Amino acid sequence: MPIEHAAVQVVHKPWGVNDLHPWSLTDGSGDAVGELLFQRADKTAPPAALLLKLLFTSEPLSIQVHPDDAFAHSIGLPNGKTEAWYILSAKPGAQVAVGLKRNLTPQELRAAIRDGSIAGLVDWRSTTKGDIIVVPAGTIHAIGAGIVLAEIQQHSDATFRLFDYGRPRELHEDNAVAASCAGPLQAQSGPRRLTAARTALAAIPHFVIERIDLPANSNWILNADRETWVLVIEGDARIDMASTSVGDAMFVEGDRAGIEAGADGMSALIAYPGPDPIMSLLQESGEQMTSSADTSTLRSLPKPKEIVEAQT
């Protein structure tokens, strides 16, 4: 069963950044980097249900919307796109837009796309490090400048743009109007503590997102009975004998992975299909990790090189 150090695809965007430190050593000085996409290292593996990425913004992204599963199926796509953002860093005054200030009829939404007034109707709100924002399919949204975030989403690139700040890219008026729930975002449940080491940030049918905070030099077992992504956001650890640090991701499915937190401890985001947290997902192992029965099953994993897109 797979335990993989995820490969990274570098995606250049006009709204990206030049310096990705500490998340990546990629040099964006020649062509700004907007996204790091984490992918299965095994290119022959079936597609994952979830997509994990990091986004870096120096300018606002387009105002957009994603379809739900039903609308995606109606236009020939395998699934829709519900996503969630975990804010890793945010400059003072950074904002995200989620939902609209008021309900719009389809006719009003169409007119707002055509005359650009949609830019003044989205509900911008301040954001800071540690925020979690779930963006259900059909929610009109945007990400502002000065933000680094981790995005967990259904594996889909279906995006319909409503406004793009004058950039020469196509708007998708008809599909955007059809896919949108054009109104305010409904209240969301906040994070909840599962154990001393685990916090459930979001738990919805499409995925569960947890933050784990492991003390220095502690040993743990990750019991991944389904597709599970691990993104290190602070500190370092050995995960199934692979050295990992900030910005590294692992993919685990149908297997048990040992986690040995480093001298400064380790914090990570963990994402897997929902709807509910798996209470047996993470267990402190104590002496179990050092027994010959356990260490004999661990294997050293090479760290894949980054796959660079549109970069010479």
> Which residues form the catalytic set?
161
How far is the C-alpha of 62 from the C-alpha of 45, rounded, in Å?
A: 32
DSSP secondary structure code for residue 267 in this structure: E
How far is the C-alpha of 309 from the C-alpha of 105, rounded, in Å?
A: 40
CB-based contact 175:161 (threshold 8 Å): no
Residue 142: strand, helix, or coil? strand
How far is the C-alpha of 200 from the C-alpha of 193, rounded, in Å?
A: 6
Tokens of 37: 């996409």
The number of beta carbons lying within 10 Å of the beta carbon of residue 114 is 11
Laid out side by side, the sheet with 83-90 consists of: 132-135, 83-90, 147-154, 50-57, 33-39, 7-17, 306-308
Nearest to 105 by CA among 162, 48, 159, 177: 177
Nearest to 262 by CA among 196, 215, 212, 213: 215
Q: Compute, in degrees rounded to 10, the torsion defined by CA atoms 143, 94, 55, 179.
A: -10
Q: Which residues of 207-241 are buried (b: 16+ CB within 10 A; e: fewer)?
A: bbbbbbbbeeebbbbbebeebbbbbbbbbbbbbbe
How far is the C-alpha of 72 from the C-alpha of 80, rounded, in Å?
A: 5
How far is the C-alpha of 187 from the C-alpha of 102, rounded, in Å?
A: 14
Residue 278: strand, helix, or coil? coil
